[in-house]
Amino acid sequence: MSITNNLKWRYATKKFDTSKKIPADKLDILKEAVNLAPTSYGLQPFKVLIIENQSIREQLRDAAWGQSQLTDASHIFLFCNFTEMGPEKIDNYLKLRSEINNTDVADTKPYGDMMKGQMAVLSSDQISAWTAKQAYIALGTLIATASELQIDSCPMEGFDKVKFDEILGLKNKGITSAMLAAVGYRSESDDTQHFKKTRKPIDEIFETIK
């Protein structure tokens, strides 16, 4: 199958070709795929910043211990999770859901009350941990879709999140940086592309319980 072949083709790209940019139509596909990623309750409790501004990317590179992907990749997708999940966010979701499905939003009250009750018992740290997990699902969708388009990617957690939040003014937006993906096209000088994938045997990863 092509998807497994493309996942074998991809690797965590260390050096990007600075002369190659992702075409607008393929960038739109990546964005749509991230938007279609599954999340708990369908709430999508995150925001994705696509960072093209080179000056800002230079600052982010300094806050990521000089990793070149921050400035050399075609685009940076920064996944930011919500730091709170108040009732209004759930109400906004249910309103949108009802509009899309042409149903009465009043019918969703029991479902909304259940979600609000689930969120109300969580601490702020637990909320942030939960929303970050949802963002990671979207990150995986981005990586898989990029491989299908023969676009290289490098998921990255190695950066100072506090500094990222400060540089981008995220606190005032109610979000915080979780992880990022540098996407673009590999440089011919990136020796990492020639390494064979190191993966455990399938029967060590999977166990079938009958």
Q: What is the pLDDT at residue 183?
A: 98
Average confidence score pLDDT of the chain: 97
Q: Is 58 left (phi over 0), alpha (psi -120 to 50) or beta?
A: alpha
Q: Tell me the percentage of the chain whose pLDDT exceeds 70.
A: 100
Q: How far apart are CA 121 and CA 61, in angstroms?
A: 38
Query: Encoding tokens for residue 89?
Result: 């966010």
CB-based contact 135:44 (threshold 8 Å): no
pLDDT tens, residue by residue, 157-172: 999 999 999 999 999 9
CA distances from 193 to 10, 13, 78, 189 (A): 8, 7, 23, 9
Q: What is the pLDDT at residue 207?
A: 97
Domains of the chain, residue spans: 2-205
Q: What is the pLDDT at residue 185?
A: 98
pLDDT above 80 (res 1) = no
Q: What is the pLDDT at residue 133?
A: 98
Give the mean pLDDT of 142-159. Answer: 98
Q: What is the pLDDT at residue 117?
A: 98
Q: Does domain 2-205 sit in CATH 3.40.109.10?
A: yes
Question: Within its chain, how far is the Cα of 39 from the centroid?
Answer: 12
